[in-house]
Amino acid sequence: MSSIIQLLPDHVANQIAAGEVVQRPASVVKELLENAVDAKATDIKLIIKDAGKSLVQVIDNGVGMNITDARMCFERHATSKIRQAEDLFSLHTKGFRGEALASIAAIAHVEMKTRQDQEELGTHIIIEGSKFVSQEPSVLPKGTSFSVKNLFFNIPARRNFLKSETVEFRHIVDEFQRVVLAHPNIHFTFYHNGSEMFNLPQSNLRQRIVTIFAGKTNEKLVPCNEETDILKVTGFVGKPEYAKKSRSEQFFFVNNRFIKSGYLHHAVMAAYEGILPVGAQPSYFLYLDVPPNTIDINIHPTKTEIKFDDEQALYAILRSTIKHSLGQFNVVPALDFDRDSNLDTPYDYKDKEASTPTIQVDRSYNPFSNDKPNKTYTPPYYPKKEGSWESLYIGTNQTSEIEIDATSIVNFENDEEITASLFDENNEEKQGNRTYQVHRKYIVNPIKSGMLIVNQHRAHQRILYEQFLTNMTVHQASSQQLLFPINLYFSKDELELIEELKQSLVNTGFVFEENTQEYIVLSGLPANVSEKEASLVLEHLISDLQDGIPENSFSQNDTIARSMAKSLAIKTGAFLTEKEQENLVNGLFACKEPTTTPFQKPTFITMRVEDIDRKFTL
């Protein structure tokens, strides 16, 4: 019987490995940028075309490679970073496994140009799908240039799984930001389809953060600094009043390597406990320096997850450091923030002692005595004036007795008219139409078969959703003009997202006056959006579109309508008057789909009288 287990060819093995390392164009950007950083470059350029599907090019002025290294770097597990297994626990570089370039070369057309400083000529190599096409000496500048073209050209199925250019570009921007935030001492330039997206000169950490995220970033940063034997923490956290719904401005770096850690994120949230609104996410840019032998980086193909030796100690140090920073810069309110200054001791009395009050006692009083004090009531005296109200009663009967005719006493048992007024036929209908608010969350309305229980938040979501969707469809949204235009600050990628959605937002009632590279100016808002809610609505919309903007216009309108309805719907705990309750219930049942919210959750339930009776028979 012939053997059925065989060794895979190198090109097949490389394509399989590429599935772990290269998931999308952003993965190529990450690997090439990290290689440029490891090459000790001080100037790095990133050039992208068609969101990386056509071209990803990284040019650096690093140390470069000689002819042998230039050829060897495309072999699997060829690396200059480690020589033995113990080296994995003393790493100070980004890449170390030697898989990235081999995986990229297996699924794309790769062109590499490199030259070392002491060499006169460099090396020019072209590879297509793991096959060497050419290698020749060339006159090149110092450093290395990698060009990756036609990604996944030989794996059409994987290329078809790529998202739209907007989504893929956002992933590239995310990877770019993670690298540039870790290395503010390097000059980075980013071009997309010939347009300059970022130009980040060498600077300190605070300037790098402000340059990337623009807006009012500088105002919301609070520095964090702490150094212990096992951990050194530096960086910045955001003030609570600038918290967002999205987690787009949350970065952890361990030994200048970006990581994701739910455990450390929980430590940050614990430090903000009690000073953040429900659902809000703080901004933080935290850099942790730990001994390399206390962490294990090699537990994930993308190296974004790290195993720590003593996670509990790191948790406690990080939490206390952030709390200390927030308190040191008066971000956390003091314990006596509710103190009334009117109760303070006046300055003139601060050295005086309090006087003891005296009590006067009637020593002759006997509670058991039968003698009662003879007290007579003396009416108050009002001087008479001419033309006063007493002149109105001159000539009337002055007798103090009142004569009552017995025949005028009504017999309530036989009086049908009064009995009918107490139990009016219309009174029962009026009571049946009344609504009641329960725990400021539900609206209860009696109906013929029993009672209706409406969730006020979900019902308002459905009403607003259909209103917004109708306005965007027929282009008849009403706007309220602002007396003074408002400026709303966002980061560059968020401003680009708003620009793409501008027409749909205009159809909902937003009026844009101008857009700059740091903020937008609004001169009008939808009729049911206040000035305070405008920024919150757009932040929620950006958060809901993190995974990309839908391609067709109907899906865009639907996404915007759902996001705005969720943001503007009355919340649980809001008090509603009886008229508001009735309007909410009537508005709900005037909708096309009153039974569910835009997120397919029930808006109301009904309880029959039989169901209530059954509860009492148990």
Number of CB atoms found within 10 A of residue 535's CB: 16
In the predicted model, is pLDDT for residue 466 greater than 70? yes
Closest CA to 287 of 322, 247, 258: 258
pLDDT classification of 529: cutoffs 50, 70, 90: confident
Of the ranges 142-156, 243-257, 314-328, 427-441, which one carries the lowest mean pLDDT score?
427-441
Mean of the per-residue pLDDT values of the chain: 80
d(CA 9, CA 93): 30
The model's pTM: 0.69
222 Rama sector, left if φ>0, alpha if ψ -120 to 50, beta otherwise: beta
Asked whether the beta carbons of 143 and 61 are under 8 A apart, the reply is yes
pLDDT classification of 618: cutoffs 50, 70, 90: low
What share of the chain has pLDDT > 90, as a percent?
Answer: 27
Mean pLDDT across 180-189: 94
Q: How far is CA 84 from CA 79, 88, 300, 306, 563, in A?
A: 11, 8, 19, 20, 53
d(CA 549, CA 559): 9
Closest CA to 210 of 487, 488, 486, 492: 492
In the predicted model, is pLDDT for residue 526 greater than 90? no
Closest CA to 54 of 130, 150, 138, 136: 150
pLDDT classification of 488: cutoffs 50, 70, 90: confident
Mean pLDDT across 132-155: 90
Work out the widest C-alpha separation in the chain, in whole angstroms.
137
In the predicted model, is pLDDT for residue 13 greater than 60? yes
Of the ranges 9-18, 37-46, 323-332, which one carries the lowest mean pLDDT score?
9-18
Output helix, strand, coil percentages for the chain, rounded to the nearest 5. 40, 20, 40
In the predicted model, is pLDDT for residue 211 greater than 80? yes
d(CA 558, CA 599): 11
**DSSP bridge partners of 143:** 115
Q: Are strands 195-200 and 604-608 parallel, antiparallel or unpaired?
A: unpaired
In the sheet with 187-192, reading across from the earlier edge strand, the strands are 131-138, 122-128, 109-115, 143-149, 55-60, 43-49, 187-192, 195-200
What share of the chain has pLDDT > 70, as a percent?
Answer: 77
Mean pLDDT across 383-396: 54
In the predicted model, is pLDDT for residue 448 greater than 50? yes
In the predicted model, is pLDDT for residue 602 greater than 70? yes
Structure confidence by residue, pLDDT tens digits, 269-283: 999 988 888 778 899
Q: How far is CA 6 from CA 103, 131, 425, in A?
A: 21, 22, 91
Residue 416 has a pLDDT of 45
pLDDT classification of 379: cutoffs 50, 70, 90: low
In the predicted model, is pLDDT for residue 46 greater than 90? yes
Amino acid residing at 571:
K
- Taken in order of first residue, the domains within the chain and their CATH numbers are 10-200 (3.30.565.10), 205-328 (3.30.230.10), 452-604 (3.30.1370.100)
Asked whether the beta carbons of 441 and 572 are under 8 A apart, the reply is yes
Of the ranges 270-279, 387-396, 564-573, which one carries the lowest mean pLDDT score?
387-396
Q: Higher model confidence: residue 54 or residue 75?
A: 54
Structure confidence by residue, pLDDT tens digits, 77-131: 666 555 455 545 555 565 545 577 888 888 899 999 999 988 889 999 999 888 8
Burial profile 50-88: b = 16 or more Cβ within 10 angstroms, e = fewer = ebbbebbbbbbbbbbbebeebbebbebeebeebeeeeeb
Residue 149 has a pLDDT of 93
Closest CA to 558 of 600, 496, 528: 600
